[in-house]
Structure 1
Amino acid sequence: MAERLIFPDAYAAADLLTFSGRASRAGDGAVHLRAARGTLAVAAVPLVRQGLLDPTPTIMGMRTLPVDPELECDLVVEGVTLQTEPGRPSAVLLPETAVEPPLWARADVPRSGWTDGGELDAAALASRGQWGMSAVAHALPIDPGDQMVHTVRGQVWSEPDEDLLGFPRGVAFVALSLGFLGADTERARVRHNGRWTRVSLRRGHVLWRGPAHLGMTDVRPTRAAASR
């Protein structure tokens, strides 16, 4: 794979490192890098579902950056491994090896065909994200185990929130944790494509696919149906 990512300036390179650093502190720490035709799409999932009965929604954050037009790549790396090249602040060195792409990185996110779904206040995203973080902190006991932390986070962030158009509250968490929220006066654009929803802000996009059914389906009276 390519040894480095070349950006038009040091600001774009620093932007990637800021994003990857935030991603490393939330979710699984993996960062998906896809570059083609002068654009780098970088994605991470601060929230990811683990298992059939896990209520935690898998919610992705994505940001696009200008990059060397001749560069093409599609790989997943650990966010903490990215760093600028010494003496060349507009270049980001890649690790010697990539990691096995997790399921979320293999999702076929639509690139076209999105339809308008209205708008959402950035202030509401910030408010509900901060409320959720406080709710998680207050619900956890002293010295909780990893499973307890995941369970509580799943319960808080999976809940539909009326202030967020009924979207799972985790949408606010992803926008907040990845640094997508700037001015409170911004209006986020909402778009839909089948089961996919995208909330777009100037600093990035929040995407998820749902709703997904959890648990087992209702029991049906098969004997009665068979006797007909």
Structure 2
Amino acid sequence: MAQRLVFPDAYAAADLITFAGRAARAGDGAVHLRASGGTLVTAAAPLLRQGLLDSTPTIIGMRLLPVDPELDCDLVVEAALLQIAHDDAEAVELPETAVPPPLWSAAEVPRSGWSHAGTLDLAVLAERAQWGMSAVAHALPIDPGDLIVQAVRGKIWSAPDEDLGGLPRGVAFVARTLGFIGEDAEDVGVRTCGRWTRLTLRRGHVLLRGPAHLGMTEVRETGHVAALVD
């Protein structure tokens, strides 16, 4: 029998499959699964740098789900191979084999020491994501090769965006790609810790490692329960 992740309800199991499905269509198609103390941290990198000359920023999306308190794991799998167990809607079957951990999955995200750096309007985040995707589509020639696609994406998603407080436009792309942008209005909290910047949305976190971007408006607490310790 395949190894399983057991969740407290079918909703949480389906949530993981939805996240994995989105991750499978972007980046390297891998999802990092870390479970301990009843929490499953799921992470993927819809944007990642490929090669020394690639300007694409590596940006990680992270979502936290309740899971069996006795489960303890740390592995990377092909997202497209995760599936709901045929005999249990509250369990997700893992692939028979894991994949070699990509570099982004080894990054040590700080668990404490985060400082408030501002807020972003969710509607602005959604608009900049849509603008960037349109810009990529219009900039690509007919039948472009992989190198051209990567160059265009890198240029557009790595560009600092004034509407996002100087953060690279790719943070908006990752938030949209992984389903973190909902229909309800929301203030997106921005926090920094050393070279890390974190956007906290109700549906997940977007993490960028690079120069800290400051100068945004003061953060207003929205009542979101952030699983990453401040």
- What TM-score do the two structures reach when normalised by structure 2? 0.90
Instruction: Give the whole-Å Cα distance in 2 for the aligned partners of 1:84 and 1:143.
Output: 37
1:41–1:63 contact (8 Å) kept in structure 2: yes
1:123–1:184 contact (8 Å) kept in structure 2: no
Tell me which residue corresponds to 1:130.
Answer: 130
Tell me which residue corresponds to 2:217.
Answer: none
Gaps of 5+ in 2: 213-230
Instruction: Give the whole-Å Cα distance in 2 for the aligned partners of 1:89 and 1:184.
Output: 29
SS at match of 2:128: helix
Shift of 1:187: 0.5
SS at match of 1:110: coil
List aligned pairs for 1:88-127, cutoff 5 A.
Answer: 88-127=88-127
Tell me which residue corresponds to 2:193.
Answer: 193
RMSD, aligned CA:
1.1
Gaps of 5+ in 1: 213-228
Tell me which residue corresponds to 1:143.
Answer: 143
The C-alpha deviation readout for 1:78-114, integer Å capped at 9, x for no partner, is 0001001112111000011100000000001111111
**Aligned length in residues:** 211
Instruction: Give the whole-Å Cα distance in 1 for the aligned partners of 2:184 and 2:49.
Output: 29
Match status 1:48 vs 2:48: yes
The C-alpha deviation readout for 1:137-167, integer Å capped at 9, x for no partner, is 0000111111111110000000000000000
Which amino acid counterpart does residue 182 of structure 1 have in structure 2?
Answer: G
Instruction: Give the whole-Å Cα distance in 1 for the aligned partners of 2:32 and 2:3.
Output: 16
Consecutive aligned runs of 4 or more in structure 1 exceeding 6 Å deviation: none
Shift of 1:54: 1.4
Q: Which has the larger radius of gyration?
A: 1
2:54–2:150 contact (8 Å) kept in structure 1: no
Shift of 1:183: 2.9
1:45–1:59 contact (8 Å) kept in structure 2: yes
Instruction: Give the whole-Å Cα distance in 2 for the aligned partners of 1:127 and 1:88.
Output: 39
Shift of 1:184: 4.8
Instruction: Give the whole-Å Cα distance in 2 for the aligned partners of 1:113 and 1:159.
Output: 27
The C-alpha deviation readout for 1:159-218, integer Å capped at 9, x for no partner, is 000000000000000000000001351001111000000000000000010139xxxxxx
Instruction: Give the whole-Å Cα distance in 2 for the aligned partners of 1:112 and 1:211.
Output: 18
Shift of 1:53: 2.4
SS at match of 1:116: strand
2:196–2:211 contact (8 Å) kept in structure 1: no
Instruction: Give the whole-Å Cα distance in 2 for the aligned partners of 1:201 and 1:164.
Output: 14
